[in-house]
Structure 1
Amino acid sequence: MKKPEVSVTLKDHKKHAALAKPSTGNFGRNEWAIVGAPCVNIKLLANDVIQALSPKYKCAYVDASHNDEVVSLPGRLAAGAYLEYVDQQNHHQFNYNTQLSPADLKQNFSDADMVLVNGNHQQAKAQVVIIHPNKVASLQKRLDQLTNVQLILLAEGADDVFDFVKETLINWQQIPLYRLSETDKIIAFFAEKMELSKPPLKGLVLAGGQSLRMGHDKGAVNWHGTEQRYYLADLLGSFCSEVYLSCRAEQAQTFDSQYQTVEDTFTGLGPFGAILSAFRKDPNSAWLVVACDLPLLDRLALQYLVDNRDTSAVATAYKNETEGFPEPLITIWEPRAYPRLLNYLSQGYSCPRKVLINSDIKLLQALDSKALTNVNTPEELEEIKEQLKIKNISMQ
């Protein structure tokens, strides 16, 4: 019998998965193209801002070569190499003899907190417009690039915003307007923008483990009057905008419905996969990740971690006093950690601690190292029960 033909329309066919995308521009999450002035003025302005903000933020700059002559390729690129890496004494240099795609550029700038761009050569998702008497024609050619102007600067010799800019920017009167010479105000503008761009913090309780060494679900142990996974979720609620329980797909229906869950979409990878699954759900938030086998973790330890959070780092973590390494399962992972975790996975690594060890992180000394104690076996469970019993008696 002939099978009936199935008609698939373009509307029915979905070519790509519906993934949450990181809110980046051409280079990074926070980027501004500076347009409307000679390149030398743009470079000087970028230098002032970077010098002022680089102690707190990782700043990057984008420009183009200003040499109009044909220049031979440097180093081994001239011999046909597509990439040359030079370990300089005070910096590292990569030379490419290949076209970089938009994805390549974002990857290279993934660690940058802010990116300033010479708008005479490159575009960015936000703009700073300089009103310069000598660059009228140049600015007129770039009006279609003024999609999100956040600051207007009057150069020397300019007393007002050009009429054609006013016509293009309907809301130009609501945009901050300074003189190019008012460096302190310009720096304060960028400092405020960076402070407002701090990623929100969400909580993730790792409750999807199989607890093989314990012999029963560690997340269901009642240490503090309720199951540990719910106790920790409630504890994180004081510090995070939203809290989720990380779990395997078959677990989700067994949890209390008042708690939100993130099902593992990177399966078979343990905590590493759970963290990636959280970032897949929301790549624009930082995730405060805690394991469900930390019965002595308290509000004070979490408060200290949050208070000392460094948004410019890959993560903020406690140092494990016993091993001397970062403790990955009570850590704030910033959005910049997402591509880094994926990169390590592509190289065959699935250990979150290895990522921390080899990354720029904020490492904290715990106020009380006992708060980091984890429980994996029945014997350790009984030891902690006795400690908690003694602690509760002393508090009565």
Structure 2
Amino acid sequence: MISKGHKKHTTLQRPAFGNFGRNEWAIVGAPCTTIKLLADQVISTLSSKYKCAYVDTTHNDDMVIPPGRLSSGAAFEYTDQVNHQQLNYAKPFNPFRLREIFSSTDLVLINGNHQPAKAQVIIIYNNKKASLQKRIAQLTNVQMIILADADDVFDFIKETIPDWDKLPIYKLDETEKIISFFETQMQNAKPVLKGLVLAGGKSERMGFDKGAVSWHGKEQRYYMADMLKSVCDEVFISCRADQQSEIDNQYSSIADTFTGLGPFGAILSAFREKPDSAWLVVACDLPLVDENTLKYLTDNRNISSVATAYQSTFDDFPEPLITIWEPKSYPVLLSFLAQGYSCPRKVLINTDVFLLNAPNPDDLTNVNTPEELDKIKHALHKKVTVE
């Protein structure tokens, strides 16, 4: 017998997805050709900054035989079309699969005649009044109204949306204003940037806790956390569960819940706590990193990429432990883990990331051994003398 107070499932923070993505709008109330044209105009303008997607349902009612090898019983068929890739599935998608597929997108526009969405844009056509009225239950979060051949909003819309007159209302031919609405929405949806200092390693090669070394007059984990506060909304120190009681209570911390995975597990643990935030992750064994290095990274952040990282001058690979990981990287990291990989650098190498050249490449030097420690002491002394 299960008691009434018993919780069968662990309570998790869920990403703010709709049916497809975090930022999605169903366009309703217009003929499909009008919706497609409007979607084309918005996507063609915003696709240079954001990854855009479009959702619709085909009108080819005479298509009763699945295409290609699906008709032979294949579960799916992948085709390299040279200028694009095509993947046909035999089975319908449920919401969980759809959110997984669309997780890399920034903006999703949807033909609301066929599919609902988290937010809606209404187009008012006089001859579509009855059709729109049938979809009144789908109008749960209307954010813009567009007048096509009508001069006013339908009465049933006014009754359904009490604050309808506070919404932006444009004519269908006011394309620039309509596109500007979506651009503003995307700017406002920019994920908040949190800071994460990686201080949960056992420092076995060094022989002592690198996070506790006092390079700059205080323990490195606290020095780095203080520095991150200048560019992040909130800062946390990542640590093992057995270390958490040692962290100064003036600093927030996140204990690893993906254990035994090193930095990879620390990043996943942070996303588990706050899946809709972006995370500026910095290892505590980078004693030469300064505010200029962090600010250059945040100033040049590309929110449409999975991550923004510095490119190493040593091997030309991305530096994973001074990187901004966007919310869309969370499912990517989990998918790599499911395939047996727990290397953050491998994720960056094999996904869409935005790479920068560090203003001062020496600042990315890390310390893992006593020999490297001596070199860094000399470099720090030289840096302080020059300053």
TM-score range, shorter chain: over 0.9
Q: Deviations along 1:191-228, whole A, 9 cap, x unmatched?
A: 00000000000000000000000000000111100000
Q: Does 1:127 align with 2:114?
A: no
| C-alpha deviation, 1:394, in angstroms | 3.1
Structure 1 segment 139-218 matched on structure 2, within 5 A: 139-155=132-148, 157-218=149-210
Q: Which residue does 2:331 correspond to in 1?
A: 339
SS class of match (1:251): helix
Counterpart of 2:301 in 1: which secondary structure? coil
Give 1:25's aligned residue: 18
Note the alpha carbon deviations across 1:241-275, whole angstroms, 9 max, x for none. 11000000000001111111100000000000000
Question: How many angstroms apart in 2 are the aligned matches of 1:327 and 1:392?
Answer: 25
- 1:125: Cα distance to partner? 0.4
What is the match of residue 93 of structure 2?
A: 100
For 1:316, which of 308, 313, 320 is the aligned residue? Answer: 308
- The answer to whether the aligner puts 1:276 opposite 2:293 as a matched pair is no
Uncovered stretches (5+) of structure 2, i.e. residues with no partner? none
**By how many angstroms is 1:393 displaced?**
2.7
Q: Could you say what the CA RMSD is over the residues aligned between the two structures, in angstroms? A: 0.8
1:45-85 per-position Cα deviation (integer Å, ceiling 9, x unaligned): 00000001001000000000112224311000000011011
Counterpart CA distance in 2 for 1:350 and 1:140 is 51
What code does the residue aligned with 1:356 have?
A: L
Partner residue in 2 for 1:4: none
Alpha-carbon distance between aligned partners in 1 of 2:6 and 2:333, rounded to the nearest angstrom: 31
**Residue identity opposite 2:58 in structure 1:** S
Map of 2:6 onto structure 1: 13
Amino acid aligned to 2:180: A
Q: Match of 1:190, as an amino acid?
A: F
Q: Is the 8 A contact 1:37 1:134 kept in 2?
A: no
The answer to whether the 8 Å contact 1:246/1:264 transfers is yes
Identify the residue that residue 79 of structure 2 maps to in structure 1. Answer: 86
1:234 aligns with 226
Normalised to the residue count of structure 1, the TM-score between the two structures is: 0.97
Aligned residues: 387
- CA–CA distance in 2 between the matches of 1:193 and 1:387? 46
Q: Which amino acid letter does the alignment assign opposite residue 68 of structure 1?
A: D
Q: Distance in 2 between matches of 1:198 and 1:295?
A: 30
Q: 1:13, 1:255 → 2: CA distance?
A: 32
TM-aligned CA deviation for residue 323 of structure 1: 1.1
In structure 1, distance between residues paired with 2:49 and 2:343? 29
Name the structure 2 match of 1:3.
Answer: none
User: 2 CA distance for matches of 1:139 and 1:65?
Assistant: 20
**Cα deviations by residue, 1:345-396 (Å, 9 ceiling, x for unpaired):** 000000000000001010000110111000001111111112212222333x
**CA distance, structure 2, for counterparts of residue 181 and residue 101 of structure 1:** 36
Following TM superposition, by how much is the alpha carbon of 1:139 offset from its aligned partner in structure 2, in angstroms?
0.2
TM-score normalised according to structure 2 size = 0.99
Q: Which residue number in structure 1 is paired with residue 349 of structure 2?
A: 357
CA contact (8 A) 1:316 1:362 kept: yes
Q: Secondary structure at the match of 2:88?
A: strand
Q: State the AA in 2 paired with 1:16.
A: H
The separation in 1 between residues aligned to 2:29 and 2:385, in whole angstroms, is 71
Instruction: Give the corresponding residue for 2:213.
Output: 221
Aligned residue for 2:359, secondary structure, equals: coil
Q: Is the 8 A contact 1:279 1:335 kept in 2?
A: yes
Q: How far apart are the structure 1 equivalents of 2:157 and 2:363? A: 58
**5+ residue gaps, structure 1:** 1-6
Supply the distance in 2 between the matched residues of 1:160 and 1:132 (Cα, whole angstroms). Answer: 10
Matched, 1:137 2:140: no
Show the counterpart of 2:31.
38
Mapped partners of 2:239, 2:343: distance in 1? 18
The answer as to whether partners of 1:123 and 1:145 remain within 8 angstroms in 2 is yes
1:156-213 Cα shifts (integer Å, max 9, x gaps): x211101111111111101110001100000000000000000000000000000000
DSSP-derived class of the 1:250 partner: helix
